[in-house]
Amino acid sequence: MKCFGDLHIHTTASDGVLHPHEIIDRAEEKQIDYIAIADHDTFLGVEKLLVDKRLKRSKITLIPAIEISTDLADEELHILGYFNSVNNKQLHNALNKLREYREERITKIVDKLTKMRCPISLKKVYQHSVEGSIGRPHIAREMVKQGYVSSVSEAFEKYLAKDRPAYVKREKLTPEIAINMIREGGGIAVWAHPGITKNPEKSFQHLIDVGIQGIELYHPYHSFSFEISWRDKIINNNLIITGGSDFHDYEDPPVDLGTKGINCSEITKMIQMINE
């Protein structure tokens, strides 16, 4: 059977709906060999799995990962970090600051929604978060629960996305700082889902200039034509190829673990890069 890895998965440690141990159960059902827990601005999901008996009994290999939101001009770029130590003090301090920014933003968004006659309880929003890193999807889920919208997607389209009435900008790192932080911590820095950005060609060159090491080529929102054209671009620039489902929720959007990923030969290249 082909060896396969899903290297972009979210848990309840950020804005996913499954607890870390439930990810293991689902990955076993899907016969996935490698998983990367890549929560937003936190290693909490990874830390929980590293001491979980389910993982120790499983044949699944866990790759520690992180997803960091950055700003380049007017474009939001997400940078994935792979194989960083969860005990890296410098990285932990930076992530703690990013989570503080998240909490400040959530309070401002809830205040905006209240003024728009869509009041929701900040306490109930945090209940959706369960643990770890809070984000807009948690607000969206509470809006669905209160009947203001019918889906998480609708909440973003009408209220929470950029340029929508309840949007609040959050303090972020620059791509260069995020990449340096990941690389200095012994990890591999990868650009997440470039196909959903406004100007991927321009951002691609900038990220190469500041030290990006890989590109997430395989993602549910990438078209087949995008994968074909960008594969050559990635190889020609001596970057590694990664991929994953970006799993958050079974229903909204409807993406399951293993929907996208990479074969283990690509993961071997990542391991070789770490060991160089």
Tokens of 174: 């620059």
Contact, 174 vs 189, CB < 8 A?
no
Tens place of pLDDT per residue across the chain (276 aa) = 589 999 999 999 999 999 999 999 999 999 999 999 999 999 999 999 999 998 989 999 999 999 999 999 888 999 999 999 888 888 889 989 999 999 999 999 999 999 999 999 999 999 988 777 899 999 999 999 999 999 999 999 999 998 999 999 888 899 999 999 999 999 999 999 999 998 899 999 999 999 999 999 999 999 999 999 999 999 999 999 999 999 998 766 678 999 999 999 999 999 999 987
Residue 131, phi then psi, degrees to nearest 5? -160, 155
User: What residue segments make up the domains of the chain, in order of their start?
Assistant: 4-94+182-275
The CATH number of 4-94+182-275, from 3.30.1050.10, 3.30.499.10, 3.20.20.140, 2.40.50.140, is 3.20.20.140
Instruction: State whether residue 91 is helix, strand or coil.
Output: helix
Residue 1 has a pLDDT of 57
Can you give the pTM of this predicted structure? 0.90
Left (φ > 0), alpha (ψ -120 to 50) or beta: where does 79 sit?
beta
Residue 129 has a pLDDT of 84
Tokens of 251: 């229903």
